[in-house]
Amino acid sequence: MVDILLATYNGEKYLREQLESLSAQTYRNFRILVRDDGSRDSTMHILREFQLHHAGMMEIIEDDAGGGNPAANFIELMKHATADYVMFCDQDDRWYPAKIQTMLQRIQAEFSDYQVTDSGLRPMPVNESHLQVARAYRNFSHLLVQNYVTGCTMMINKTACQMAGDYDSRILMHDWWIALYVSAMGEIIHMPVKLMDYRQHENNDVGARDVMSAKYRVEKIFDRKVRTSKDTYYAQAALLKERFYSLMPEESRRTLDRFLALPGYPKLKRIREAIDGGFVKSDAIRTAGFLFYL
């Protein structure tokens, strides 16, 4: 049994197509758990219509737990998952028919790849080596400073799902949070197979960005958030220590302690410790920018 978690918000434009792709999966023993975060368009109507015509396939979670962002919505959804395996679904993509079946054949905490498309699901001429997730780093030290796992490509087991805990504002994104504690205490597997269309449009929360382009570099130079991003990494790591330190193997504890000790060092020692500890980004230029503001 697989639970597919679908977090929705004003998704009327593409939601039907995504739901159709879920109903067309070759593996049939699944349930769609949906939680809407206060949509003001026809999203709820589309969901109820689908639920009516696909008896037993969808359960709509209605509560007063709040939300406000995708991470909070997904983490709240995780509390309702009871299946042996759990997947995460964005409202605006399209899954290939064998996505669930293919990932079930090789599962621990696993993520696959995606085909980048435009809003009409036409493949985009994207240099995949320039994407943020082009290098599928799965080690704990890399994940402390950069996320390499896209939520909609993930399948996790029940244990990993139950460990997520309550949403906390220090959690930067649900997929990053999951990748962190799984890499610290378990294993992440990357399956380099494209199993979905990753739709790019004007309202993407994250999206597939060309992180090697001049435009992206210039944006980051003038983005004030970049200058303080390290503080959000430290905060997320501190939450990780609060919740999981006693469960971590010794090696992961040492890595986490070494990372959290960085702010207490002089600038040059911080840089040396970050490099020696493997707390670096996916390419030399991004790493240099990170170290500059470290």
| Per-position b or e across 237-262, b if 16+ CB within 10 A of its CB | bebbbebbeeebeeebbebbebbbeb
Q: How far apart are the first and last CA of the chain?
A: 44
Amino acid letter, 9: Y
Upper half-sphere CA count for residue 31 (Cβ side, 13 Å): 14
In contact, 152 and 174? CB cutoff 8 Å: no
In sequence order, the 6+-apart residues with CB closer than 8 A to the CB of 275 are 291
Beta strands 94-95; 188-199: pairing state: antiparallel
Q: Give the model's pLDDT for residue 35.
A: 97
Amino acid letter, 183: S
What pTM does this model have? Answer: 0.87
Beta strands 85-89; 154-157: pairing state: antiparallel
In contact, 180 and 163? CB cutoff 8 Å: no
Q: Does the pLDDT of residue 254 top 80, yes or no? A: yes
Q: Residue 130: pLDDT band by 50, 70, 90 thresholds?
A: very low
Q: Does the pLDDT of residue 43 top 70, yes or no? A: yes
Q: Give the model's pLDDT for residue 6.
A: 98
Q: Residue 289: pLDDT band by 50, 70, 90 thresholds?
A: confident
Distances (CA, A) of 249 to 101, 133, 177, 183, 237: 32, 26, 18, 11, 16
